[in-house]
Amino acid sequence: MIHSRLIQAIALVVMVGALMAAGRLLPGIIKQSDDSSLRYTTVSVDNAPPEVVLGSAIGALRGIFVDVLWIRANIMKEDGLFYEANTLAELITKLQPRFASVWMFHGHNMAYNISVATHTQAERWEWVKKGIDLLRREALVYNPNNVDLYRELSYYFLHKIEGVSDDAHLYYKRMLCDEWHNLLGEPPADYAQRAEWIKKVADAPISLEAAEQKTPGVIELVEKYRVALAPYQEVTRLDFNRDFLNQEFLTSYSFWKTIQTSPYALMLGNDRALRAAAEDPTSNVHRLGSAYVALDTLANDSEYAEEWDTLLAFTRKKVLREEYNMDAQFMFELTRDWGPIDWRHGSAHSFYWSRLGAHLGETRHNNEDLVYKIVNNDRMAAAAMQDLARFGWIIYDPLSGTQFPSRMPDIRWIESIERFFTHLYKKHENVPGWKGDNFKDWYLNFMKSAIRELYRMGEYDYALKIYRRLDDRFGRGGLIPNSEYSIPLDEFVDKQTIGEYEMQPHVATTDVQNALYYAIRRGLGEDRPEVYENAKKFADRVLSFFRTSEYNKFVNKFGEERITGIIADLEHVELAVFGRIMLDTSIDLTERLRLYNVHAPLRIRQALYDVIREPLRAEVESSPFQGRAEFSQMLIEPPGMPEFRLEMQAIRAQQEAERAGRLESDR
């Protein structure tokens, strides 16, 4: 008996000693697991989700079971059984939610394979959205530090939505733009104001109670909103029996705001029509009009101006967090630190997710074997910034009915790319096998292209600034001094382009047309006549080159000059570009009419009036403007048209006579 007691006492002492020793060793073990990335997340105390508990309950058989399902899912995908593979992938994510590869397989299958197997653009978009939501709302919740998942999600936005490989890409761009226009509203044009605009959302309270503490009266405003709009739930799509401060609430507010500010709404008198409908119980839109008037009364109540600001910022932050798994503070930091992000653009989201992956996941991959994942993720961010520089300026009116939002270059991103390259170069400078020079070619190609494009656009001063910077860094001031960037800017542009023009003269036509296109919309349209005039000078230089070049005087065996029909004089090209803009239904009609009526030179307006009048009339008659506005007040006939028509008749008669004379001499 005594012997047994002694053994028990010794065992107890040993157990206590072992527990104490284990306790002392635990911090070191945790640190080692952190340093070696041996866990799924960077936080050791992360609570496992229910799916992880389910998977763990299967025990050792889980791995075998998942392997079998994974093999079957891949076979089904190869056989074109995308829906069946999707079902198996969903089961695998439940059993093994930390298996990043299956999340990527699952998301790609939805966004790429199943989407293109559907029959309508709306169906395609639903599956693309499902693939995106799968990664951002589920996969990243369970794997918040996996760089591969962030890069994959970034790729969906950059390639699937902003790319052109999918036949429905224009529809995707429109839907994404509309979705985020409703969520956040139209961003201010000024960069500093845009940063402050998103900062308001980042600084918003995290609860309704906190919003009330910040701005007393918010809860009262919410209750007034509930009472005013509850009778119209079928048109607002708000469920007042639950938390209604959600995406539908923001969409409802966005609809009211659009009616107040949209050029289409103002020209069509939508505000007046909705008020009239509210007064007319027999109107088909009586209840919509009544809901609009109720919201308008509350939104325009000056007593609640501050309360509205706080409520909208709180709701936007809440929706970003709950519906998109996005951090408003990080959105602000990206805008503040990198560039004027417009969240209605797909590449803005590509940039966000790649940068968030760098922020949260790089410490787990910062070793020689895995560093390529960091580099690939950084390349996604670089590509997204490049896309924003070329197409990041969005012009969008939700009531326009155009095919997709109008996009223009946003040259402010060029400086952002300059800073990002410096960041990447320093970041990868000492990484074995991945020197900063990996990004040098990308940087130089983009900047050379930017110089050419800025020069074409008429932004001469900016082009010269970048050109001198390249000379300081890679030319005469480079590690191995050279004279590549020492020649005058116009000669550099010529050197970059003329050789290409000689081999592919159609490229010159495209360059000239694009330069004038930008100059008309961003120069004349924004009251910057110097940009317009500079672009015309560039266009004239290119056209003069072809008129004087001996190379282009070559006559082929059919007796035709090499460039005849490809290169015209400046007046004809300018007229053609103006005409292209005026008849381009993807550009907002109000913008086109403003360009024509207000900004176009008289000679251009005279030459185009008879050409564009009937097509525009037909467009108006099939638009919301039908019957609501006089066409003669929308497209204003320029002065001197009778005299201009007589002049054109005389010119055509002279041309006909000259052509007849040539035919006679040929005989």
pLDDT of 263 above 90? no
pLDDT of 597 above 70? yes
pLDDT confidence bin for 559, thresholds 50/70/90: very low
What pLDDT, on the 0 to 100 scale, is given for residue 347?
Answer: 96
pLDDT confidence bin for 561, thresholds 50/70/90: very low
What pLDDT, on the 0 to 100 scale, is given for residue 106?
Answer: 81
- Average pLDDT rounded to a whole number, residues 453-470: 89
Higher pLDDT, 405 or 274: 274
What pLDDT, on the 0 to 100 scale, is given for residue 274?
Answer: 92
What pLDDT, on the 0 to 100 scale, is given for residue 128?
Answer: 93
pLDDT of 73 above 80? no
* Residue ranges in 38-190 assigned as alpha helix (H): 50-58, 61-78, 82-95, 100-108, 115-116, 121-133, 140-142, 147-155, 169-184
What pLDDT, on the 0 to 100 scale, is given for residue 172?
Answer: 92
**What are 525-528's contacts with CB under 8 Å, separation 24+?**
525/591, 525/594, 525/595, 525/599
Q: Which residue has the tokens 């170069």?
A: 425
- Residue 47: CB partners within 8 Å, gap ≥ 6? none
Higher pLDDT, 551 or 296: 296
Higher pLDDT, 405 or 624: 405
pLDDT of 555 above 60? no
What pLDDT, on the 0 to 100 scale, is given for residue 77?
Answer: 65
Digit-coded pLDDT (tens) for 648-663: 888 777 867 776 666 6
- Average pLDDT rounded to a whole number, residues 128-152: 92
pLDDT confidence bin for 65, thresholds 50/70/90: low
Q: Which residue has the tokens 């036949």?
A: 167
What pLDDT, on the 0 to 100 scale, is given for residue 23?
Answer: 55
Higher pLDDT, 79 or 594: 594
Of the chain, the percentage scoring pLDDT greater than 70 comes to: 76
pLDDT confidence bin for 270, thresholds 50/70/90: confident
Of 18-22, 88-92, 318-322, 616-620, the range with the lowest mean pLDDT is 18-22
Phi-psi region of 163 (alpha: psi -120 to 50; beta: other; left: phi over 0): beta
Measured distance CA(314)–CA(305) in Å, rounded = 14
